[in-house]
Amino acid sequence: MPVSRRVAELMKGSSWIRRMFEEGARLKAAHGAENVFDFSLGNPVLEPPPEVVEAFRAALDEPAAGTHRYMPNAGYPKVREAVAEFLTRDYGVPFAADRLLMCTGAGGGLNVVLKSILDPGDEVLVVSPWFPEYQFYVDNHGGRMVAVPAGPGFLPDPAALEAAAGPRTAAVLLNTPNNPTGVVYGQETLDAVGEALRRASARTGRVIHLVSDEPYRRILFDGRRPASVFRAYGPTILVTSHSKDLAIPGERIGVVAIGPDCPDGAALAGAFTFANRVLGFVNAPALQQRAVARLQGLTVDPRIYERKRDLLCGALQAAGYEVVRPGGAFYLFPRAPGGDDLAFVNRLLRERILVVPGSGFGAPGHFRVAYCVEDREIEGAIPGFARCLRDPGA
């Protein structure tokens, strides 16, 4: 067997999302893509704003020699300065360019951070439901992911996080706006988590890092303003990317930023730079770095996703689905009628509607709808969603 037992085992565990992908391909071949309603992937439907294409052109046209060569593993100093300046304004705390690493998307950044802070057997607490890749990222670096159920409204439960922390806890990994629930954590929630982690760190005698995964930070609805995790807790590391805010996930560009009050920031920055190199990323893509330096603060229009949320969430609620109304990102996480998410996802498949069962996110009894699709796909799926609720056995 050419594939390691470990990878074979992990691949089996990730089979739900793969299965939906394969089902989607099969249904599209059989019925035509326009007759399949695919809500299985968080791939943004929007094109990047025109400024993005212009910035790529301008970066390509830069006259200086050597622009395609290797660079410092943490990224171009000038780009890191531009990003530090923006993050300082955005989060209301001072960021330094030398505590910042340009990375290959948030996924790359999370792997850099976890490689740098985990010893074998160390634990990372995540709030369930969680983004499925977390379990693999933690496993990549010999860690153990520990799921802590969310409290009401899918918000993190500070007391439960505090209770779950032990001597092996190296980090808590939070994600807001959240995939898969679309829930946004406000400042009060973050402050309560910060308090809980301060107490837990004092008890365990180890600094527990808060790793804040925020690629959806700028996709907020109903006039919400983003909160600042750095104001809530000192030992915080931000991981983010432009996959969703600029709608360029294929370009693989992101940032890791160490908070100004994070102890041993210089040592961490050195470790991140080393990890970025030896994980084989070497440095984040050069052209992308130079382009996004010109684009700090730019975002796709979140009102487009907000309208899609209104359309779908409104229709599902009117049909009788129980769903927490999301405040950002582009996901819904309704309760599966009847409680069996796998059975209900299969029922939706008979309407040619593809979603992902909550079991894939550590939260059985729900399902995830990624509504970053065209309006006509949402409109086309609404009658099928309603039929499934009226007649779950059909």
Ligand X SMILES: Cc1ncc(COP(=O)(O)O)c(C=O)c1O
Binding site for ligand X (CB under 6 A): 42, 105-107, 131, 175, 179, 213, 215, 241, 243, 249, 254
Task: Give the whole-angstrom CA distance, residue 138 versus residue 144.
Answer: 6
Q: Which of 300, 325, 95 is nearest to 218 (CA)?
A: 300
Least spacing, CB of residue 1 vs ligand X, in Å:
30
d(CA 360, CA 296): 34
Whichever of 175 and 201 has its CB closer to ligand X, that residue is 175
The tokens for 73 are: 């593993």
Q: How far is the CB of 109 from ligand X (least distance, A)?
A: 8
Residue 201 or 281 with smaller CB distance to ligand X: 281
Amino acid at site 21: F
Our CB check for ligand X shows the closer of 107 and 194 to be 107
Q: What Å distances lie between residue 383 and 94, 113, 288, CA to CA?
A: 50, 44, 42
Q: Which residues pair with 14 in a beta bridge?
A: none
Q: Count of CB atoms within 10 A of residue 47's CB?
A: 11
In what helix (H) or strand (E) does residue 292 lie, and over which residues does it extend? helix 286-293
Q: Smallest distance from the beta carbon of 242 to ligand X, in angstroms? A: 8
Nearer to ligand X, 131 or 385 (CB): 131
Q: Which residues pair with 357 in a beta bridge?
A: 367
What is the closest distance, in whole angstroms, from the C-beta atom of residue 285 to ligand X in the complex?
A: 12
CB of 6 to ligand X, least distance (A): 22
CB of 267 to ligand X, least distance (A): 25
Q: What is the largest CA-CA distance in the chain?
A: 66
Shortest Å, Cβ 34 to ligand X: 25
Question: Shortest Cβ distance from residue 110 to ligand X (Å)?
Answer: 7
CB closer to ligand X, 134 vs 344: 134
Q: Dihedral (C-alpha) 270, 273, 274, 279: value to the nearest 10 degrees?
A: 150
Residue closer to ligand X (CB basis): 175 or 276: 175
- Shortest distance (Å) from residue 206 CB to ligand X: 25
Residue 168 CB-half CA count within 13 A: 13
Report d(CA 194, CA 227) in Å as an integer: 13
Phi, psi of 144 (to 5 degrees): -125, 120
Tell me whether residue 200 or residue 238 sits nearer to ligand X (CB atom).
238
Q: Answer for the pair 116, 140: CB distance below 8 angstroms, yes or no.
A: no
Cβ(145)–Cβ(154) under 8 Å? no
Cβ closest to ligand X, residue 288 vs residue 359: 288
Q: Are the C-beta atoms of 220 and 183 separated by less than 8 Å?
A: no
Pick 105 or 235: Cβ nearer ligand X: 105
Strand partners, 212: 174, 238
